[in-house]
Amino acid sequence: MRNILALLILIIISGCASNSPTQDQKTPQTISDYQLELKNVISKSPDADFLKLRMAYTNTKMYAPYSLDTHSLQKKAFQKINEKKFEECLEISNDIVKLNYTNLGGQYLSMVCNFKLERNEDGKYHRYVLNGLINSIANNGDGRSVKTAYTTISTGELKTFIQMMGLEIKRQSLRNSNGKAFDVMAVKDPKTGEEFNLYFDISIQMVKGFGFLDK
């Protein structure tokens, strides 16, 4: 399975090279930054920086938070887990990760299915990536106010992050403050019954995410 991980980076990097945007859309240095961060993560380098990986991803042509929807793939993968068809689940999760290596759901599914198949080293690797991605969101604030909002790069990432915190989403509203866009998520802790708001800075996806409209 480690060969699969090596193949993933080759597929992603070659995809960047064969579908390079024009100079006025993205700079070669930006794409190179993403490749470098991805290489560091896959090799588990001490220099691996998951925040930089996520931010570099938003500067690539692959970043399409409003047109790239992996929800149906994730739903199908979870169905395969319920059916105990873990090989099929892994195939689907690999497809998700190929589309977006920073996808929390894809990394989670890859972790679970590898552990179910007793491919523990690969399961541990995807747990490492998943934890790195989650911490890169959690460590930039506490989400309790506009000033300390979490920064996310897609609605899918935002909702999966909340779910992985063990919280339930009750309501969602949009707020603008100081030229930035925020999703205000009313959530509930099912263990305590407490309800409270979490703030997410979604400015990146609002500014960069509609680029597909210009194609």
Span 165-190, pLDDT tens digits? 999 999 999 999 999 999 999 999 99
Choose the CATH number for 150-214 among 3.10.450.40, 3.30.1120.130, 3.30.70.580, 2.60.200.20.
3.10.450.40
Span 130-170, pLDDT tens digits? 999 999 999 989 999 999 999 999 999 999 999 999 999 99
pTM of structure: 0.82
User: How far, in Å, CA of 215 to CA of 196, rounded?
Assistant: 40
- pLDDT at residue 66, as a whole number: 86
| Helices 120-138 and 155-164, packing angle to 10 deg | 110
pLDDT category, 14, cuts 50, 70, 90?
very low
Residue type, 19: N
Q: Is a pLDDT exceeding 50 seen at residue 27?
A: no
Q: Is a pLDDT exceeding 90 seen at residue 16?
A: no
Span 56-98, pLDDT tens digits? 999 998 999 888 778 899 999 999 999 999 999 999 999 999 9
Span 93-113, pLDDT tens digits? 999 999 999 999 999 999 999
Q: Is a pLDDT exceeding 70 seen at residue 47?
A: yes
User: How far, in Å, CA of 47 to CA of 188, rounded?
Assistant: 36
pLDDT category, 36, cuts 50, 70, 90?
very high
- pLDDT at residue 46, as a whole number: 95
Burial (Cβ within 10 Å: 0-12, 13-18, ≥19) of residue 15 = middle
User: How far, in Å, CA of 82 to CA of 115, rounded?
Assistant: 15
Residue 21: DSSP 8-state:
P
User: How far, in Å, CA of 206 to CA of 199, rounded?
Assistant: 15
Q: Is a pLDDT exceeding 50 seen at residue 18?
A: no
- pLDDT at residue 211, as a whole number: 56
Average pLDDT of the segment spanning 122-133 = 98
| Structural domain boundaries in the chain | 2-60+68-138, 150-214
Residues 6+ apart with CB under 8 A from 179: none
DSSP string, 86-146: HHHHHHHHHHHHHH-TT-HHHHHHHHHHHHHTT-HHHHHHHHHHHHHHHHHHHTT--SSSS
CA atoms within 13 A on the CB side of 7: 6
- pLDDT at residue 1, as a whole number: 47
Q: Can you name the CATH fold of 2-60+68-138?
A: 1.25.40
Q: Compute how many other C-beta atoms are within 10 angstroms of the C-beta atom of residue 166.
A: 10
